Structure 1
Amino acid sequence: MSVTIKDVAKEANVSPSTVSRVLSDSDKISEKTKRKVRKVMNELGYHINYNARVLVQKSTKTIGIVMKHSATHSWHNPFFPEVLRGISTYCHKLDYSISLTTGESEESIYKEVVKMVHGKRIDGIIVLYSKKDDKVVPFLIEQQVPFVVIGKPMEHTNEIMYVDNDNVQAGKEAAEFLIDLGHEEIGFIGDNPDFQVIQDRMNGFKEALLSNDLFYRDEYIKYVDDNNNRKIVTELFNQEITPTALVISSDIQAIGILKLLHEIGYRVPDDISIVTFNKTFITELSIPSLTTVNTQTYQLGYESSRCLIELINEPEMFKRSVIIPTVIEVNDSHQKVLKV
């Protein structure tokens, strides 16, 4: 015979409603009582009947995750597993499951989101990006679905709860780190500029150059995709005046650029310095190890799930932003400029 909430309540000497509040991690219950009730649950072997909960509460206890790219592409980027680890950690604390979009194009991802919402398969959604002309966020607003965006919204700012870094400041600090080392000819390499994070980091980079009375060269600003890495590296280093340093918007891009620089005979950091973004295993294992702006990816995921579950429980709450600080992690891909 299965153990019930009443059984747990009797053994713990509390009311069944207290057990229910412990299950939902209510802040109205003290930590001492939560520990006592959870200990009894473990001792009695109590397991939540999720199917019954869904029927009674009209809740799936599931959060949808909308990826920036297709599932195949996302798993190749170390940012995604790390942000997902943060999301999963908080969800696990409150017995929420996660459901990933599986489309292989922007349109198929959007259709997957529509299925999630109309099929009532999720209680809320975390969108892992902020992008120009995106269809997902306007749909979620229209459907009045609780959702949180990782990244600063490009539109509907007052209607959206989001978690982000100050990417303008992060881009500025990355450039100033190189400027303080004596670099004056600095390039910027980003991916799709339709994403807000890339615009912000590039704008911060530009601000740092101008505030230090350095030339801002359009020919030093490059945007890459999977097919043009070699082309932009060739363009950067076939100019009369070439960069002595690069700010690169992600670690996965930096690895590709590092390989191409090696192929054309440029040594890092002897010939060119690099600062990138996102601290992952890639930045530590690359040769040389990459100096990086640590965006605290795990914390971005953790805070986004915490904010979303709060929003699910209190749909009328004020839509706020949470800014996660960044810090430069110094490794081996930079050096000072030797003045002649």
Structure 2
Amino acid sequence: MQVTIKDVAKKAGVSPSTVSRVISNHPRISPKTSAKVKQIMEEMGYHPNLAAKSLVSKKSNTLGVILHRPAEELFLNLFFSEFIRGIVTQATRSGYDLLMTSGATEKDEMEAMTRFIKGGRVDGIILLSSRNGDGMVNYLRSQQFPFVLIGRSNEHDDILSVDNDNVQAAYDVTKYLISLGHTRIGFVSGPPQLVVSQDRMEGYKQALQEFGLPLRSHWIVEGEFLQESGYRAMSMIMGLSDRPTALIVTDDLVAYGVLKGITELGFHVPDDISLFSFNNISISELTTPPLSSVDIGIYQLGYTASQTLLRDIQENHREQNRIIIPHRLMIRQSCARVD
């Protein structure tokens, strides 16, 4: 005979509604009661019918993740694997699954997100980055659908977001390179329409201005978050007669391309040029030389985004709209002092 929720409730000495709340990981159920009910469920071999529960509650117990750019590009970068690990950890602990999609264009992403929402497939959405005039942010706000943004919106300050202070981080890196004696500092940026690229560029510019150093457009290269972008940038920068003595690179994967390009052109890091990158993914300290990088807390970004969204879904509660994850400069052998 199939075990029912009433059977579990009777043995646990609680009401069926309490068992239902335990299954749903309701925040008002005490850890002691939750552990007791889950133990009895396991002993009795009870497995909740989540499909039926979803029909009744109109909840899917699933979070949607919109991955900007095609998946084959994204997962070349260990940043996204670590970020997703943070999201999954928190979601799983709360009894939620993930549904991910990606698109080659913003139109593709919008269509996928609309399917998620209109089909009742997810209870909330995590957006992995923000752009100027982001149509997805505007749509989600208009639908009053729960979502959290990784990054910062230029247009709206009333949305849930989890971010680093990217202006300050880029300022700190530039200031550190200046402290080593560098006065000619270049910048390899990400896509210019992304707010994170704009913020890091702004921090770089602020530091140069504060210390009276020139901002030279031919020392700035924009590209994608791909190794090939860094590789191509070096054929431009290292061919300059007045090339910079240090480079800030907006992503570790791009920096690997930079390293490869510099080496193939017959130069050496840090003897000929110093490098400082962003994200501090796991293999950054294994490059030759080990790469100085900004630790932005990738795992914590994902974990906090998931946690914040779930709290908004389950409790409709916000302590603050924007959460900032601290950054750290990880100093390694890719930077050297200049006389």
- Same fold per TM (> 0.5)? yes
- C-alpha offsets along residues 10-53 of structure 1, whole Å, 9 cap, x if unaligned? 33333333323323333323222222222223322332211111
Q: C-alpha displacement at 1:122, in angstroms?
A: 1.1
Tell me the equivalent position of 2:166: 167
Following the alignment from structure 1 to structure 2, what is the Cα–Cα distance between the partners of residues 182 and 45? 68
1:156 alignment partner in structure 2: 156
Look up the match of 2:45: 45
Q: 1:67 aligns to what SS in structure 2?
A: strand
Q: Is the 8 Å Cα contact of residues 251 and 282 (structure 1) preserved in structure 2?
A: no
Instruction: Verify the 8 A CA contact 1:183 1:244 in the aligned structure 2.
Output: yes
Unaligned runs of 5+ residues in structure 1 are: none
Question: What is the aligned partner in structure 1 of residue 83 from structure 2?
Answer: 83
1:213 maps to 212
The C-alpha deviation readout for 1:223-267, integer Å capped at 9, x for no partner, is 124666455323322333221111100011000111001111111
Q: Quote the residue 2:193 is aligned against.
A: 194
Residue of structure 1 equivalent to 2:35 = 35
1:256-310 residue CA offsets vs partner (Å, 9 max, x unmatched): 1110011111111122111111121231332222111011111111111111112
Contact 2:26 2:314 in 1 (8 A): no
Same amino acid, percent of matched pairs? 42
2:324 alignment partner in structure 1: 323
Match of 1:223 in 2: 222
Q: Secondary structure at the match of 2:271?
A: coil
Corresponding letter in the other structure for 2:267: Y
Give the superposition deviation at 1:156: 2.2
Q: Is the 2:132–2:194 contact (alpha carbons within 8 Å) kept by the matching residues of 1?
A: yes
* 1:43-192 to 2 correspondences below 5 Å: 43-158=43-158, 160-192=159-191
Which whole-Å CA distance do the structure 2 matches of 1:55 and 1:294 have between them?
A: 43
| CA deviation map 1:127-159 (0-9, x unaligned) | 00001233211111122211110000121222x
Distance 2:312 2:280 in 1: 29
Q: 1:170 to 1:228 in 2, by over 3 A?
A: closer
Distance in 1, Cα, partners of 2:48 & 2:175: 53
How much is the aligned-residue C-alpha RMSD, in angstroms? 1.9
Aligned residues between the structures: 337
Q: Distance in 2 between matches of 1:41 and 1:287?
A: 53
Per the TM alignment, residue 316 of structure 1 is displaced from its structure 2 partner at its CA by 7.1
Greater shift in the superposed pair: 2-11 or 167-176: 2-11
Contact 2:174 2:204 in 1 (8 A): yes
CA contact (8 A) 2:68 2:102 kept: no
Three-state SS of the structure 1 residue aligned to 2:187 is strand
Deviation, 1:219, is: 2.0
Q: Which residue of 2 aligns with 1:300?
A: 301
Query: Matched residues in 1 for 2:296 and 2:57: separation?
Result: 37
Provide the C-alpha distance between the structure 2 equivalents of 1:103 and 1:230, rounded to a whole number of angstroms.
Answer: 25
- 1:332 maps to amino acid: Q
Separation in 1, partners of 2:256, 2:8: 54
Tell me the distance in 2 between the aligned counterparts of 1:156 and 1:136.
12
Question: Aligned AA for 1:182?
Answer: G
Query: What is the deviation of 1:5?
Result: 2.6
Deviations 1:68-99 (A, max 9, x none): 21112111121111111111111101111111
> Could you tell me which residue of structure 2 aligns to residue 204 of structure 1?
203
SS of the residue aligned with 2:257? Answer: helix
Which range is displaced more, 208-217 or 17-26? 17-26
